[in-house]
């Protein structure tokens, strides 16, 4: 890729953001060296890696690779048989500890974690835990080796401690005893690794020993008493042995590490590569970016793209297409309207995508593969080279026109500017025609009306514009494909206060063609805004219609339910009245027979009783709402185990206990009975509350009855519920069933792990109103169903 283009499109600023995400030296170096590729297989691989890292970061957080230090120099020293220092061994230890964390991070902990393209990297890592543990045990820090690093070192340090104690004890006796009056201070100090005491210069002859130092004034001499000279000598000898033993320990550890040089190199290489990949994933997350789709047709379709270097709260997304219906896009519009940003967004997205980075745009955005990207953007006026703005631009254009190929992407900002408008426009048209004839994907920004006309008149060339709000004198930064931009110079000048007579005079200097063209653009812009406004209004109307439709359907369902409920309650009330009448009639007849009253015909009384019975039967038949046809035709695949259904021919509720067979027959449990029923005779229903306080009525005899006790089913389905949810629902159901005198009842809890069954049985064991409970017989649910009988 052209280095000058990379700078103009601010690609290196993206690389700086990427490098900030790296946590290792090697990973950061890889980020710094990242360049766009032209190999589609390599690009797709890097995009897959970035996407996999993005997904892992969202699920698990960022991979921690702190401690992954470069160790190649140490590896080379080990290969020639040298021993490593404590600092080098510690760096290797931290590298292996980072490898252990990386291996653990890469492990799939649940079946929901799908394999991805990063698994191959994590599988190559070998933590060598035993080696890092041994180094960590022996070396505390770069300056300190652990006492337990070897038995010999532990023994030497124990002796050093003993000698120190002896020396301190001897010197303390001297300082606090016979020599106290000769000392400058009653302290013990050290000079050159030898224990000394500060003696006044005038008492030099009174203290036998070796002089090691004196104070700056000469009034104090630091003397090592003769009684501790041998002890100090022995101590110094032990210090020498300690250093020798430390070198032995470091040499032993170095030999252990030398056996795994190649694996340590692989670990470092893999972890730096993972750091590079996860840096790309972290950058994608911070930009809210997505993986682009690549094609070999050099087709670009960026959906709601946001320039990554502009504040996310301020940037306006743009949608850009190039290379499908047209291969040349000419963008017009006012200054600071967003033309150059649109140009840079397309170029930068192309570079980022081919470098394996996600782009901040919506999913399914497309990018083509380009061998080179050439951009002529910005003012390149050079005083040193005596180049004007036009000359510098043209020098740049000439340089890359010589290198442009068919699979190049070319971006021009203000093509032909900086010179006579007529000649500049002619040159711009000639250059764009040359590129267009070769099928080279090109984008250009301009203010020239001639280029707008060129785009309108040339097949494969399209106009675009950056929208400008004349009312507020502010650009909206929206890119509009297919609509040429209007200069708005007169409107802006008028808004800013330029007198009308000057503006009118300026219009007289426009040619008839220019004025007509501007009028056409004005009409197009007005028509576009009208269409957009009407489109938004239509969308609002559509949403309102959908809402009203849903609301009407809900109200209709409520009305239907309410009608059915009223009819059912009325029939239930009539049934209750007739039931009371029958009981009264039966009781009256018994009384008549018992007392044998005169003038009463038994046959006549019996006929009256029969009439009441027939009337009761007719009324009872109205209690159940007839459902001759299902509300919805169901397929065999609609039924699930444990689903509540209504058998239409019997008007009875039941539960599916076996899926439909090849003939479309379903096995349904209805209370203590089960039956095979065709799918056409079934209707899937939703569970309804068994009863409520409103359904409870008191008869004329004062007996409390529940008009809906008949709706309490002899079975409850607890499949799919937690133990707590199941027990709460079961408690309510058993109360309902007990009050309705339904016994026995079936509890469907399924087999599964047995946790739900155990929870149900534990609850049943504590209920005093339950006579007994047991698992169902074989063929009736066995271990998945519990039968309960009340007292």
Question: Is-contact 475 338, C-beta < 8 A?
Answer: yes
pLDDT over 50 at 391, yes or no: yes
Predicted pLDDT of residue 587: 63
Residues in Cβ contact with 15 at an 8 Å cutoff, skipping those fewer than 6 apart: 31, 32, 34
pLDDT band at 704 (very low <50, low <70, confident <90, very high): very low
Among the residue ranges 315-319, 343-347, 553-557, 594-598, the one predicted with the least confidence is 594-598
Predicted pLDDT of residue 562: 83
Q: What is the DSSP string of 527-595?
A: HHHHHHHHHHHHHHHHHHHHHHHHHHHHHHHHHHHHHHHHHHHHHHHHHHHHHHHHHHHHHHHHHHHHH
Among the residue ranges 40-54, 290-304, 691-705, 769-783, the one predicted with the least confidence is 691-705
59 three-class SS: helix
Pairing mode, if any, of strands 318-322 and 300-305? antiparallel
pLDDT over 90 at 673, yes or no: no
pLDDT over 80 at 667, yes or no: yes
End-to-end CA, the chain: 88
Taking residue 292's Cβ as centre, other Cβ atoms within 10 Å add up to: 27
Among the residue ranges 305-314, 546-555, 578-587, the one predicted with the least confidence is 578-587
Mean pLDDT of the chain: 82
CA atoms within 13 A of residue 153's CA, in its CB half-sphere: 18
Predicted pLDDT of residue 575: 75
CA distances from 154 to 84, 147, 312, 745 (A): 21, 5, 62, 77
Q: Tell me what the mean pLDDT of segment 557-586 comes to.
A: 77
pLDDT over 60 at 706, yes or no: no
pLDDT over 60 at 346, yes or no: yes
Kindly report the CA angle at 340 between 339 and 346, in degrees rounded to 5?
A: 95
Between 468 and 434, the more confident residue is: 434
Residues in Cβ contact with 233 at an 8 Å cutoff, skipping those fewer than 6 apart: none
The CA distance from 118 to 106, in Å, is 8
Burial of 772 (0-12, 13-18, 19+ CB in 10 A): exposed
Q: Tell me what the mean pLDDT of segment 221-233 comes to.
A: 85
For 24-43, the pLDDT digits (tens) are: 999 999 999 999 999 999 99
Predicted pLDDT of residue 624: 44
Predicted pLDDT of residue 366: 94
Nearest to 783 by CA among 751, 759, 753: 751
Question: Is-contact 358 47, C-beta < 8 A?
Answer: yes
584 three-class SS: helix
Q: What is the DSSP letter of 484?
A: P
Predicted pLDDT of residue 702: 39
Q: What is the DSSP string of 81-93?
A: TPPPPHHHHHHHH
User: Omega before 744 cis (within 30°)?
Assistant: yes
Predicted pLDDT of residue 381: 41
Residue with tokens 């070192």: 153
Predicted pLDDT of residue 464: 87
Predicted pLDDT of residue 561: 83
Q: Tell me what the mean pLDDT of segment 386-396 comes to.
A: 71
The CA distance from 514 to 65, in Å, is 65
Torsion sign over Cα 514, 517, 523, 529: negative
The CA distance from 203 to 190, in Å, is 20
For 513-532, the pLDDT digits (tens) are: 555 555 555 556 566 667 77
Residue 26 structure tokens:
């090697």
Nearest to 633 by CA among 575, 601, 679: 679
Predicted pLDDT of residue 699: 42
For 680-701, the pLDDT digits (tens) are: 888 888 655 444 433 444 443 3
Q: Tell me what the mean pLDDT of segment 146-162 comes to.
A: 91
Predicted pLDDT of residue 290: 94
Predicted pLDDT of residue 258: 93
Among the residue ranges 356-365, 383-392, 425-434, 459-468, the one predicted with the least confidence is 383-392
CA distances from 214 to 77, 157, 200 (A): 45, 31, 10
For 734-771, the pLDDT digits (tens) are: 888 887 778 888 898 888 788 888 888 888 888 888 88
475 three-class SS: strand
pLDDT over 80 at 784, yes or no: yes
The CA distance from 790 to 499, in Å, is 99
Predicted pLDDT of residue 11: 94
Taking residue 266's Cβ as centre, other Cβ atoms within 10 Å add up to: 15
Q: Tell me what the mean pLDDT of segment 183-198 comes to.
A: 84
Pairing mode, if any, of strands 652-658 and 665-670? antiparallel
Pairing mode, if any, of strands 209-214 and 194-200? unpaired
Out of 140-144, 333-337, 474-478, 613-617, the most confident range is: 140-144
Question: Is-contact 96 103, C-beta < 8 A?
Answer: no
Predicted pLDDT of residue 336: 67
Residue with tokens 């900086």: 418
The CA distance from 214 to 222, in Å, is 6
For 613-665, the pLDDT digits (tens) are: 665 566 555 544 444 456 677 788 888 877 888 888 777 788 888 888 888 88
Burial of 774 (0-12, 13-18, 19+ CB in 10 A): exposed
pLDDT over 60 at 275, yes or no: yes
pLDDT over 60 at 547, yes or no: yes
Q: What is the DSSP letter of 466?
A: E
Percentage of the chain exceeding pLDDT 70: 83
Predicted pLDDT of residue 379: 53
The CA distance from 376 to 435, in Å, is 14
Question: Is-contact 22 388, C-beta < 8 A?
Answer: no
pLDDT over 50 at 676, yes or no: yes
pLDDT over 50 at 723, yes or no: yes
Between 484 and 186, the more confident residue is: 186
């Amino acid at each position: 890729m052209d280095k000058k283009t990379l700078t103009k499109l601010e690609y290196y600023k993206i690389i700086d953001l990427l490098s900030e995400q790296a946590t290792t030296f090697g990973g950061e170096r890889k980020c710094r060296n990242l360049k766009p590729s032209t190999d589609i297989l390599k690009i797709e691989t890097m995009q897959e890696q970035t996407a996999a890292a993005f997904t892992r970061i969202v699920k698990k957080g960022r991979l921690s690779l702190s401690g992954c230090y470069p160790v190649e120099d140490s590896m080379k020293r080990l290969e020639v048989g040298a021993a490593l220092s404590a600092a080098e061994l510690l760096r290797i230890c931290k590298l292996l500890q980072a490898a252990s964390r990386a291996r653990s991070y890469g492990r799939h902990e649940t079946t929901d974690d799908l394999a991805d393209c990063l698994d191959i990297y994590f599988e190559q890592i070998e933590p060598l835990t035993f080696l890092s543990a041994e180094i960590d045990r022996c070396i505390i820090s770069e300056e300190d080796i652990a006492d337990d690093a070897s038995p010999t070192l532990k023994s030497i340090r124990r002796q050093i401690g003993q000698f120190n104690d002896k020396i301190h004890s001897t010197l303390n006796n001297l300082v606090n005893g016979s020599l106290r009056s000769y000392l400058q201070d009653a302290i013990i100090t050290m000079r050159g690794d030898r224990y000394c005491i500060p003696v006044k210069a005038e008492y030099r002859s009174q203290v036998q020993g070796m002089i090691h130092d004196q104070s700056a004034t000469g009034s104090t001499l630091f003397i090592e008493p003769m009684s501790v000279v041998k002890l100090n000598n022995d101590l110094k000898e032990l210090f020498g042995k300690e250093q020798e033993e430390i070198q032995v320990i470091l040499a032993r550890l170095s030999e252990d590490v030398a056996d795994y040089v190649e694996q340590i190199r692989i670990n470092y290489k893999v972890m730096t590569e993972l750091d590079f990949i996860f840096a790309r994933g972290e950058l994608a997350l911070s930009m809210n970016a997505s993986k682009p789709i690549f094609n070999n047709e050099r087709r670009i379709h960026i959906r709601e793209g946001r320039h990554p270097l502009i504040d996310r709260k301020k940037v306006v997304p743009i949608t850009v297409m190039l290379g499908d219906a047209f291969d040349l896009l000419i963008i017009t519009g006012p200054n600071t309207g967003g033309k150059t940003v649109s140009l840079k967004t397309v170029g930068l997205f192309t570079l980022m995508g081919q470098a394996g980075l996600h782009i901040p745009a919506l999913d399914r955005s497309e990018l083509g593969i380009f061998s080179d990207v050439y951009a002529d953007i910005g003012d390149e006026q050079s005083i040193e080279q005596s180049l004007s703005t036009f000359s510098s631009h043209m020098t740049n254009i000439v340089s890359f026109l010589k290198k442009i190929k068919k699979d190049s992407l070319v971006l021009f900002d203000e093509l032909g500017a900086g010179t006579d408008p007529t000649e500049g426009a002619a040159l711009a048209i000639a250059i764009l025609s040359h590129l267009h004839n070769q099928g080279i994907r090109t984008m250009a920004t301009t203010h020239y009306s001639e280029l707008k006309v060129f785009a309108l008149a040339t097949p494969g060339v399209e106009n675009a514009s950056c929208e400008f709000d004349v009312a507020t004198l502010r650009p909206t930064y929206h890119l509009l494909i297919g609509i040429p931009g209007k200069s708005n110079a007169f409107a802006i000048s008028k808004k800013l206060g330029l007198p009308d007579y000057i503006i009118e005079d300026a219009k007289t200097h426009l040619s008839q063609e220019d004025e007509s063209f501007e009028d056409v653009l004005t009409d197009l812009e007005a028509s576009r805004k009208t269409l957009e406004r009407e489109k938004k209004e239509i969308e609002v109307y559509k949403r309102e219609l959908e809402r009203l439709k849903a609301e009407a359907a809900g109200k209709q369902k409520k009305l239907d339910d309410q009608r059915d409920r009223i009819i059912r309650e009325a029939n239930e009330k009539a049934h209750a009245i007739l039931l009371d009448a029958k009981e009264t009639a039966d009781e009256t007849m018994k009384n008549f027979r018992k007392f044998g009253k005169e003038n009463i015909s038994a046959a006549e009384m019996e006929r009256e009783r029969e009439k009441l019975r027939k009337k009761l039967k007719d009324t009872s038949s109205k209690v159940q709402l007839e459902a001759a046809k299902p509300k919805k035709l169901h397929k065999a695949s609609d039924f699930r185990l444990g689903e509540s259904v209504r058998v239409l021919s019997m008007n009875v509720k039941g539960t599916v206990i076996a899926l439909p067979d090849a003939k479309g027959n379903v096995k349904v449990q209805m209370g203590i009975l089960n039956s095979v029923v065709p799918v056409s005779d079934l209707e899937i229903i939703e569970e309804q509350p068994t009863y409520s306080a409103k359904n409870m009525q008191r008869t004329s005899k004062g007996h409390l009855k529940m008009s809906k006790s008949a709706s309490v089913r002899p079975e409850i389905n607890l499949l799919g519920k937690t133990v707590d949810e199941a027990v709460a629902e079961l408690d309510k159901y058993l109360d309902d069933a007990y009050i309705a005198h339904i016994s026995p009842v079936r509890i469907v809890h399924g087999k599964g792990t047995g946790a739900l069954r155990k929870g149900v049985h534990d609850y049943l064991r504590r209920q005093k109103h339950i006579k007994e409970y047991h698992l169902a017989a074989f063929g009736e649910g066995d271990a998945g169903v519990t039968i309960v009988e009340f007292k």
